[in-house]
Structure 1
Amino acid sequence: MGESRDHSHVKRVVVKVGTNVMTNKDNRIVSPILRGLVDQIAELYERDIMTILVSSGSVIAGMEVMDSTIDDPTIRRQVFSAIGQPRMMRHYYSIFHEYGMRCAQVLATKRDFSPGKHRENMINCYEGLLSQGVIPIANEDDAVSLSMSMFSDNDELASLVAELLNADMLILLTDTDGLYTGHPDDEDSRLIRNVTTDQNVEQYIQETNKGEAEGRGGMESKLGVAKETAKKDIPTFIANGKRAGVIVDLVDGKEIGTRIID
């Protein structure tokens, strides 16, 4: 099964949850999925393990309450995101409150991670929240993020946050169990447990990739980001966000999902 997974040192975890994890086939936010994520974050919190959540979903949340006649796709995305961001935070705030926990929204563009004052301010903000036991919920600031200031997707944002905060682990949650040798629904396909940073697995990506509802990420993006993150000595995993207990199980060292090894 590969190398043993001793994660007893883990105290800080970055978890990215994609739109395809939190939505159903009708592109509606599924509240029980969000509740399941928060339940796991709360369990880790009780063990003094802090989670930084990188959450998609704002565009879908905006689409749920507004029809748009805007033709320009960029402006349409900005509008939906601006409307959906507070809706997503209301979901999270309400659920965390039930656990007696607090959460905070941290929006960013790619330029905020460039060396200088912006980066220092980002670190200070995150460290300040974590020191107070507040769960940061990160997302791209879609309302103002354009062209050069855009992340390729939230996988890239999650990787940058993990590096910024010297995280002990990065978990990229999608709607499959990881990278397969073929389509996940194919009986002959098998889950690839470990991928090295120099391993060429391009032939498997298109079969595994299901895409993301209204998202920009996919398996190719996740593997690219995961490899770059693993090279920075941050253990990185791709796993199924709809699997019960997936975050806690990975932190506990259970061999699920696909692990990227440097």
Structure 2
Amino acid sequence: MEVEKQYQKRIVIKVGTNVMTNKDNRIVVPILRKLVDQIARLYEDDIICVLISSGSVIAGKEVLDGNTLIDPTARRQVYSAVGQPRMMRHYYSLFHDYGMRCAQVLATKRDFDLGKHRDNMINCYEGLLNQGIVPIANEDDAVSLSMSMFTDNDELASLVAELINADALILLTDTDGVFDGHPDDEDSNLIRNVTTDQAVEQFVQSSNKKEGEGRGGMESKINVAKKTAAKDIPTYIANGKRENVIVDIAHGKNVGTRIYHEGD
């Protein structure tokens, strides 16, 4: 019989599409392996993680190049429905290599509304975490409608962090954090610390970088990070392709941009 355990810390990690894909917009499994390796190392340090993973739509596109659906919502639903099991197959195999277990948790926004849906979500996460099973969460794109969709997976990550009383939220992207100018500009500097009332949105500039099928962006990440930090959950925006980024943040190293509530 499994013995329930209360881990020293709980960390929610959101990994975006741009972190896990290459220039051809295909899933890079070695990047997923590096993420899993870091989660496994934290597990040995008595820190349990929840992974909010994008990628299902891209994974579906990889095998459905001939999809002729014109309606963008239906097309996204089909891609996601095909891609979700492909992503979970990757994660199941990778975690298995480390002797760990993972589980899929799909949700729509209404599942976080006060009431039975939210209570069921809490029970699910608590059951998994107390058994040392890593929940891998994503929006249920196959059934989500406009009124029950998350703005993006950053919002889902924030809601999960609040739901499980996380000690930190890490939003992984393909830039090093929040800059005081365009990230590609040599004169731009990384902003290491941001308070919830600090106006850094003014520095966010649009980029021509291809976003694939992702819906989020830096402005979304800052908004979500501030809302999460205001609930006393320190939030970090960092480069998911940086070596040991998750482990370093979890161990208090000065990596990426930290958003916090003043007084924490």
Q: Deviations over 1:140-190 (max 9, x none)?
A: 000001111000000000000000000000000000000111222211111
Which position in structure 2 is the counterpart of 1:116?
115
Instruction: Work out the CA distance in 2 between the residues paired with 1:243 and 1:38.
Output: 14
Q: Counterparts of 1:33-72 in structure 2 under 5 Å?
A: 33-67=31-65, 68-72=67-71
Which position in structure 2 is the counterpart of 1:133?
132
Q: Counterparts of 1:216-227 in structure 2 under 5 Å?
A: 216-227=215-226
The question of whether the paired residues in 2 share the 8 Å contact of 1:40 and 1:245 is answered with: yes
Cα offset for 1:208?
7.1
Q: Deviations over 1:106-130 (max 9, x none)?
A: 0000000000000000000011011
Cα offset for 1:213?
2.3
Instruction: Work out the CA distance in 2 between the residues paired with 1:199 and 1:234.
Output: 17
Are residues 121 and 102 of structure 1, via their aligned partners in 2, closer, same or farther at CA, if it must alter by over 3 Å? same
The question of whether the paired residues in 2 share the 8 Å contact of 1:16 and 1:173 is answered with: yes
What is the TM-score with the length of structure 1 in the denominator? 0.94
3-state SS in 1 of match to 2:179 = coil
Q: Counterparts of 1:1-262 in structure 2 under 5 Å?
A: 11-67=9-65, 68-206=67-205, 210=209, 212-262=211-261
Percent of aligned pairs sharing the same letter: 78
Q: How many pairs align? A: 254
Letter paired with 2:58: I
Cα offset for 1:203?
2.3
Letter paired with 2:186: E
3-state SS in 1 of match to 2:190 = coil
Structure 1 stretches of 5 or more lacking a match?
A: 1-8
Cα offset for 1:214?
1.1
Are residues 146 and 124 of structure 1, via their aligned partners in 2, closer, same or farther at CA, if it must alter by over 3 Å? same
Structure 2 stretches of 5 or more lacking a match?
A: 1-6
* Structure 1 outlier segments of 4+, above 2 Å: 207-213
Cα offset for 1:212?
3.0
Are residues 88 and 27 of structure 1, via their aligned partners in 2, closer, same or farther at CA, if it must alter by over 3 Å? same
Cα offset for 1:247?
0.3
Instruction: Work out the CA distance in 2 between the residues paired with 1:247 and 1:200.
Output: 26
The question of whether the paired residues in 1 share the 8 Å contact of 2:8 and 2:46 is answered with: no
3-state SS in 2 of match to 1:239 = strand
Cα offset for 1:199?
1.4
Cα offset for 1:211?
6.3
What is the TM-score with the length of structure 2 in the denominator? 0.94
Q: Deviations over 1:30-70 (max 9, x none)?
A: 01110000000000001110000000000000000012111
Instruction: Work out the CA distance in 2 between the residues paired with 1:204 and 1:212.
Output: 19
Cα offset for 1:210?
4.8
3-state SS in 2 of match to 1:206 = coil
3-state SS in 1 of match to 2:191 = coil
Instruction: Work out the CA distance in 2 between the residues paired with 1:44 and 1:212.
Output: 30
Are residues 157 and 151 of structure 1, via their aligned partners in 2, closer, same or farther at CA, if it must alter by over 3 Å? same
Letter paired with 1:118: H
3-state SS in 1 of match to 2:204 = helix
Instruction: Work out the CA distance in 1 between the residues paired with 2:84 and 2:184.
Output: 33
Letter paired with 1:239: A
The question of whether the paired residues in 2 share the 8 Å contact of 1:182 and 1:208 is answered with: no
Are residues 156 and 209 of structure 1, via their aligned partners in 2, closer, same or farther at CA, if it must alter by over 3 Å? farther
Are residues 209 and 161 of structure 1, via their aligned partners in 2, closer, same or farther at CA, if it must alter by over 3 Å? farther
